Chain A
Amino acid sequence: MTKNTALLAQLAALVVVIVLIALVPGYFEIFTVMQLTLFASMAVLALSLAFIWGFGGILSFGQTAFFGLGAYAYAVAAINFQDSTPAIACAILVPALFAVALGYFTFYGRISDVYFGVITLTVTLILFNVANSTSGQEYHIGDAQLGGFNGMPAVPTFNAPFDPSTPLYPEQGWYVTAGALVAVYILLRVLLAGRFGRIVVAVKENETRASLLGYDPRLIKLVAFTIGGAIAGLAGALYVNWGAFISPNAFSLSLSAEIIIWVTVGGLGTLIGPVIGAVLIEYIVSSIGSQQVVNANLVLGAVLLFFVLLLRRGLVPSLQLVVVELWHRARRAPRPKAEPSAAATPAGSK
């Protein structure tokens, strides 16, 4: 009964979100639509870490490794194929395969959590440096010049599926990006509600117990990590589509840190929290970026400090606590219908 109402409420929320997404291009100027498109692609990136860290217990300091790989894979494939359809597939597959390789060595090699963090960080740095040092003419994959620190300009943006002659307008780009965000969110929700989701959370909660029940924690983590890599890669493709441009900054450590901040601020252990965190913080950063009074990194640092010190659980879980508390209080309170009649009798007798 309560489960069904919860499900209905969620479906209703989903419909509202879809309607809002559909309304955005009609209500906002193209500049705002573009900015929202960027935020949506960042939110997809946030979901990748929200999943592996919040539900898989895997803290990757280098989620941008997959984001950057996805972005570069998209750019290279889009330039070579002159069609975004296979390029998007590459943007998902390449980082996923890379995650399989990296995850295999770390999880099956029984690397501790601390070293796992160090390794993901290092791998990101290496990729950043590799991408940075590809400026010469000789660094090309097919027709795609990698461009070193200058990056790759004029990357073809999304076109209609398998139809390169029909490029998407920015409004359509918004629909695709926001749609991808909703799709990834739903996919993760379904995954987490099912068998695999419970096993992933079980491994996060207690690896020893999970293995004593016959679950291989290494394999479970590897699968979760790979899903996270694939999602981050998709975010990379969405990002390139937004700017038609990619540079080694996609691998930057500051972006890696920002993803962790989104998740922390929005709420570790939820999916919607990090989405909200990403949009909110990117909005704040971009607002600050357009003036020179305060430094954006300073504000980011202050926001993170506030949440770590005062609102540890993050926005969404804290809000949930408040709502649950209010609901319990409301239930414990006497029923409003019974009260007036009970009160009316003594009042009338006086």
Chain B
Amino acid sequence: MNETIPLIRTENLTMRFGGVVANDNITFSLREMELRCLIGPNGAGKSTFFKSLTGQQIPTSGSISFRGQPIAGKLPHQIARMGIGIKTQVPNVFNGLSVREHFWLAARRKSMPKELIRTVDEILDLTRLGDVADRIVGTLSHGQRQWVEIGTVLAAKPELILLDEPAAGMTDEETFRTADIIRDINRTRAIVVVEHDMAFIRQIAKTVTVFHQGRVLMEDTVDAVLADQRVRDIYLGKKVAA
């Protein structure tokens, strides 16, 4: 891969909903295999940004390119096939299908038939859902469904993984494990994680981008960001202190 071409790059990306400017001129770029955390208070525009990247909505203006190829205006399934996977903030699973079927559906696009079963088993192990592999996902607990969605995203083996609040509703132990898994996956794949949990951010982050009112407030190392007065102000000092 050409080192100078970013994996994903947005230029002046803007998304308006009527009078609300959810994303305002966002210029963002991510290298191959990079792990980035995206933080910002509620309504900062993080999920909106992810939706534009995955084609769930068409940005009002600006451009997005994936390895130099423009993707703005492409449909979600086309972008997914290019290699971008997302765990959405509002859980998106197939309630009537089993856990195994989720991983199978996700994996079969990229895995050869022989690998396929192995990939599914690996993801079942990783998400610790082996015991409920054949259960219908609609009957599982919220936490388990969260893992189903994470596993589904991983099974598809995307080049870029977007995780919108993956640890929401998880226990501390599970959150810790999620961070571990993320670091592990990051050895081969690029990941962008949106999280509010600062302990989690500290555990995984190298570079952090801060969104505020639809704009990029700052982008720096985790220590520099968490020490910044503006960041402390928008979070009211609560979570950063923790």
Contact = CB atoms under 8 A, between A and B. Distances in A.
Q: Do chains A and B stick together as partners?
A: yes
Interface in A317-344: none
Given A198-B97, A209-B93, A214 B75 contact: no
A36 interface: no
B75 A211 contact: yes
Interface string A197-217: 011011011101111111111
Given A202-B94, A202-B97, A212 B54 contact: yes
A143 B62 CA distance: 62
B81 interface: yes
Nearest to A215: B77
Interface in B99-150: 101, 104-106, 108-109
B86 interface: yes
Contact of A211 (B77, B101, B105, B106): B77
A195 interface: yes
B156 interface: yes
A302 B144 CA distance: 42
A206 B109 contact: no
Contacts of B229: none
A195 B152 CA distance: 17
Q: For A198, A201, A210, A212, which residue has the most chain B Cβ atoms within 10 angstroms?
A: A212
Contacts of B65: none
A212 B97 contact: no
Contact of B80 (A204, A206, A214): A214
B29 interface: no
Q: Is the interface of A mostly helix, strand, loop or mixed?
A: helix
Contacts of B77: 210-217
B92 interface: yes
Interface string B153-177: 0001000000000000000000000
Contact of B94 (A195, A206, A214, A216): A206
Contacts of B104: 198
B95 interface: yes
B92 A216 contact: no
Contacts of A199: 105
B70 interface: no
Contacts of A216: 75, 77
Contacts of B105: 198-199, 202, 210, 213, 215
Interface in B42-58: 54, 56
- Sorted nearest first, the 6 A-B pairs with minimum C-beta distance are A205-B94, A214-B80, A211-B76, A209-B92, A211-B77, A214-B81
21 contacts: A195-B108, A201-B96, A202-B97, A202-B101, A206-B93, A206-B94, A208-B92, A210-B105, A211-B80, A212-B54, A212-B77, A212-B80, A212-B88, A212-B92, A213-B80, A213-B85, A213-B105, A214-B80, A214-B81, A214-B109, A214-B156
